[in-house]
Amino acid sequence: MDDDMAQLVLDEAKEKMAKALEHVKAEFGTVRTGRATPALVEGLLVDYYGTPTPLKTLASFTVPEARLLQVVPFDKSAMAAIEKAITQSDLGINPSNDGQVIRLAFPPLTEERRRDLVKVVKAKAEEGRIQIRNLRRGTRHELDQLEKEGDLSSDEHERADKALEKITQSGVEAVDALLAQKEQELLDV
């Protein structure tokens, strides 16, 4: 009985940490590396008939070359609104429009800009680590409550705590691995 309760709490923590890791991965995807990728613009909100709408629901994306992203709107009347949203974003890219397709040409990143982006990525990684540690704290609190209520013996609590520490460590290591990979992408010329 004790072990089942502790295992349930640990499984829930593992699941939440996996979601936190996915969030970090998604955040890293929004950081430009010098290569064109749809993740850079998918989340942009476009004023579509007065409603802020994510770009990914209004258009499809293709990457014909490493530094070129094509946005093909499903509704050609949304072309101007999509162009405006891209221009107003912090991407620093001027879209070109031929009436059918919006092309985004990504210039090569300067060394200084690469260093700035590495700082941004490190900050996002730290947010991910903090999120994982906060999940650990919440789970520890749940385990303490179970012990206090008598649903968990002190031995089981100790075992669950050690298992939680391993789960947390693997989550932090996964964030560090993602960070190293993204840093490498950013610094490769």
Residue ending a domain, among 105, 134, 151, is 105
The reported pLDDT for the residue numbered 3 is 66
- 165 and 98 in a common domain: no
Residue ending a domain, among 76, 105, 134, is 105
- 100 and 115 in a common domain: no
What is the per-residue DSSP string for 21-76? HHHHHHHHHTS--SS--GGGTTT-EEEETTEEEEGGGTEEEEEEETTEEEEEESSG
19 CB-side CA count, 13 A: 7
- 88 and 42 in a common domain: yes
Percent residues over pLDDT 70 in the chain: 96
Question: What pLDDT, in 10s, does the model give residues 117-132?
Answer: 889 899 999 999 999 9
Question: What pLDDT, in 10s, does the model give residues 37-60?
Answer: 888 888 889 998 888 999 889 999
The reported pLDDT for the residue numbered 2 is 53
Identify the CATH number of the domain in which residue 68 sits.
3.30.1360.40
Give me the chain's average pLDDT, please: 88
Tell me 78's DSSP state: G
Boundaries of domain holding 21:
2-30+110-187
Q: Which residue has the tokens 């064109």?
A: 36
Confidence of residue 1 (pLDDT cuts 50, 70, 90): very low
In the predicted model, what is the mean pLDDT of residues 5-26? 91
134 CB-side CA count, 13 A: 8
The reported pLDDT for the residue numbered 135 is 95
- 157 and 117 in a common domain: yes
The reported pLDDT for the residue numbered 169 is 95
Identify the CATH number of the domain in which residue 115 sits.
1.10.132.20
The reported pLDDT for the residue numbered 139 is 94
Give me the torsion for CA of 108, 69, 96, 46, rounded to 10°.
Answer: -120
Most distant CA pair in the chain: distance in Å? 70
- pLDDT at position 189 over 70: no
Length of the chain as a residue count: 189
CA nearest neighbour of 111 among 36, 34, 39: 34
- 47 and 10 in a common domain: no
Q: Are 142 and 9 in contact (CB under 8 A)?
A: yes
In the predicted model, what is the mean pLDDT of residues 61-79? 89
The reported pLDDT for the residue numbered 30 is 76
- 101 and 114 in a common domain: no
For residue 138 the two structure tokens come to 């919440």
CA angle 3, 173, 144 (to 5 degrees): 30
Question: What pLDDT, in 10s, does the model give residues 105-116?
Answer: 887 878 888 888
Count of domains observed in the chain: 2
Give this prediction's pTM. 0.70
Question: What pLDDT, in 10s, does the model give residues 146-181?
Answer: 889 888 888 888 999 999 999 999 999 999 999 999
- 25 and 114 in a common domain: yes
Residue ending a domain, among 86, 105, 124, is 105
- 16 and 51 in a common domain: no
| Residue 173 CB contacts under 8 Å (≥ 6 apart), including other chains | none
Q: Are 59 and 71 in contact (CB under 8 A)?
A: yes
For residue 83 the two structure tokens come to 């162009």
